[in-house]
Amino acid sequence: MPIINTHFLFPHQSTFYRGKVRDVYGIGNELLVMIATDRISAFDVVLPLPIPFKGQVLNQIASHMLEATTDVVPNWRIASPDPNITIGHRCDPFKVEMVIRGYLTGHAWRVYKSGLREICGVKLPNGLKEHDSLPEPIITPTTKASEGHDQDISREEIIRQGIVSEEDYSILETYTRELFTRGTEIAAQQDLILVDTKYEFGRRGDKILLMDEIHTPDSSRYFYGEGYSERQQRGEQQRQLSKEFVREWLIANDFMGKEGQTVPTMHEEWIEEISARYIELFEKVTGKSFIPQEYLNAENRMEQSVLNFLSSM
């Protein structure tokens, strides 16, 4: 049975938060236990049925990528004692998500297609096609909403509203560009193109740390490198490894998370296809074989892994 919700009570547990995809347990004032469930969200709505192995895929890609970028940007991760769990430092999060785009795809393309030539205060040239490479990567931040939809916002508005200071925001921009450069290099080694992604940051003491996950199918979009140029020249759709295919399916079935809209029925075959695509992305991005964890006694396994880690500290 896929992991939908968890209900643990760990020693010195101080807080609990259920996000769209993760269950987050605070341990004292210093630690967070982040459990990646099999829930899936799109358009800021949690879809009604879970996707087998999705949580394991997300957590293990994130662990792989956090480890591969520690020399670029310090991050919150301490350990991943279970395939679905990461334990790290508690941080005070900045209330923005740093989205960076190298290609005109997804939300950026929908904005451009509507006739607008500016997104988050960044001007875009005329004459671009869907999935074209941008002249240079652009940062298009969003507000980090506790409920409802995240909203596009410009650098100037973030600073003007005091959401993030100008000094801190400059650091976030630098970290975002450096991480995207490293992510692009890692992807290229697997003949993939990192199209766009988002990063979240927080403060711990006087340090700014990268938080949460990075370069996963929930936070990032990849194209296959092979044949990209040829498909663009012919005006064909790109082969993607991302969650965009779920969004496209929802849009085709008249759902974009708007009031009054109903999530279409998720048939078993469709759920299996989503799971297979997540596993494909894990193997393609990391170059490792995916080893699915048994769901039998999964809660006991996860709880024991956290208890063992906490007792070793």
Residue-wise pLDDT for 53-97, tens only, equals 999 999 999 999 999 999 999 999 999 999 999 999 999 999 999
- Determine the pLDDT at residue 35: 97
User: Residue 243: how many CB atoms within 10 A of its CB?
Assistant: 23
Residue 202 lies in a domain: yes
Helix or strand holding residue 209 (H, E): strand 207-211
Residue 80 lies in a domain: yes
Using left for φ > 0, alpha for ψ between -120 and 50, and beta otherwise, residue 53 falls in: left
- 289 & 305 share domain: yes
- 192 & 292 share domain: no
Report the domain count for the chain. 2
Residue whose entry in the numeric block shows the structure tokens 């007792």:
311
- Determine the pLDDT at residue 164: 97
Residue 4 lies in a domain: no
Helix or strand holding residue 282 (H, E): helix 268-286
**CATH number of the CATH domain containing 124:** 3.30.470.20
- Determine the pLDDT at residue 250: 94
Q: Give percent of the chain with pLDDT exceeding 90.
A: 88
Residue whose entry in the numeric block shows the structure tokens 């005109």:
104
CB 49 within 8 A of CB 41: no
- 30 & 121 share domain: no
- 155 & 219 share domain: yes
Q: Measured between alpha carbons, how far is 143 from 155 in angstroms, rounded to an integer?
A: 11
Residue 253 lies in a domain: no
Looking at residues 13-31, what average pLDDT do you find?
Answer: 95
User: Residue 226: how many CB atoms within 10 A of its CB?
Assistant: 12
C-alpha dihedral (106, 109, 113, 119), degrees to nearest 10: 120
Q: Measured between alpha carbons, how far is 243 from 71 in angstroms, rounded to an integer?
A: 28
- 145 & 221 share domain: yes
State phi, psi for 213 to the nearest 5 degrees. -105, 160
Q: What is the DSSP string of 144-200?
A: --SSS---B--HHHHHHTTSS-HHHHHHHHHHHHHHHHHHHHHHHHTTEEEEEEEEE
Residue 19 lies in a domain: yes
- 105 & 187 share domain: yes
User: Which residue from 20, 6, 196, 244 is spatially nearest to 98, judged by alpha carbons?
Assistant: 196
Residue 251 lies in a domain: no
- 212 & 175 share domain: yes
Helix or strand holding residue 130 (H, E): none
Q: Measured between alpha carbons, how far is 24 from 172 in angstroms, rounded to an integer?
A: 24
User: 82 CB contacts (<8 Å, ≥6 apart)?
Assistant: 301, 302, 305, 306
Tokens for 96, please give them: 């923005």
Whether residue 206 is predicted with pLDDT greater than 90 in this model: the reply is yes
- 68 & 124 share domain: no
Q: Measured between alpha carbons, how far is 174 from 181 in angstroms, rounded to an integer?
A: 11
Expressed as residue numbers, the domain containing 161 is 93-246
Residue 198 lies in a domain: yes
| Pairing outcome for strands 118-119 and 122-123 | antiparallel
Interaxial angle between packed helices 54-68 and 268-286, expressed in degrees from 0 to 180 and rounded to the nearest 10 = 20
Q: What is the tens place of the pLDDT at every residue in 6-16?
A: 999 999 999 99
User: Which residue from 206, 199, 204 is spatially nearest to 174, judged by alpha carbons?
Assistant: 199
Kindly report the average pLDDT of the chain as a whole number.
94
pTM: 0.89
**CATH number of the CATH domain containing 43:** 3.30.200.20
- Determine the pLDDT at residue 147: 56
